[in-house]
Amino acid sequence: MKLYNGLMMPEIGFGTWQIDPKDASLACKMAYEAGYKMIDTAESYGNEKECISSFKSTEDIFIVTKLPAQYKTYDEAISHFNESLKKLGRIDLYLIHAPWPWDQQGKDCMEGNIEVWKAFCDLYKAGKVGAIGVSNFHPDEIEKLYKATGVMPMANQIRYFIGNRQIDTYNYCIKNNIVIMAYSPLATSELLQSDEVKKMAKKYGKTEAQICIRYCIDTNTVPLVKSTKEERIKANLDVDFKLEEKDIEYLNSLTPQASTRPFRS
């Protein structure tokens, strides 16, 4: 996938949300050895340093991290970026983790988000980060960032999976050349129990997880997959096939029970 500034991003990333710091080093090492070239972490995960601690060099790894959602000032954004940079050595993509603090979902923090975005723009212009973006942002929130700075986010990381596509946000991002990063592509494993996904897996001779991951790729998003089990880490990357257009359309029409959960949690 190519970000609109020309930076290339791997089409699959290894997610580290909810991976304990004591397990993150080995998990990321196994992921790299399996073939993953992108590590997605965040300051709030508490595992940034551990995610890259097993690597002698990170030259061929695309590193993504995020500013904690509760920080909404220019100075806080700069300070926390520098803290993450010290831990990681390099940041290829830096994201605003959410438009509001997680314990205040829905709160209007746009004034703060604009200040943070100005800091992100300055970090990018200074060459300190390869690309900048957001996470869990809606189109109207992105529009306000753009109007205030003239800079559109290069990526938006959202919950995206079969039956929960956030279609308005999806369409907006595709239209504006914003790469969509799909977290929870398996609906935190709930889709593995879907009869529809099971039928699709049987048709293609693949696992349910592989169908869900391939669906994200075939709908022009970058899935972030997570596991601490070596066998699953390898299997989740074995998606060198394509879904037929009619099957994508069918999966687009589904609304699994998992999609009734809050879409920005």
Q: Which residues are catalytic?
A: 45
Residue 32, CB half-sphere, CA atoms under 13 Å: how many? Answer: 21
Name 217's Cβ contacts closer than 8 Å, sequence gap at least 6.
Answer: 11, 12, 223, 239
Dig out the tokens for 50 from the structure. Answer: 């551990």
Write out the H or E segment, with its range, that includes residue 174. Answer: helix 167-175
Q: Describe the chain by its helix, strand, coil percentages, rounded to 5.
A: 45, 15, 40
CA distances from 190 to 2, 186, 187, 193, 226 (A): 30, 7, 5, 6, 14
Helix axes 110-125, 139-149, angle to 10 degrees: 60
Q: How far apart are CA 147 and CA 258, in angstroms?
A: 35
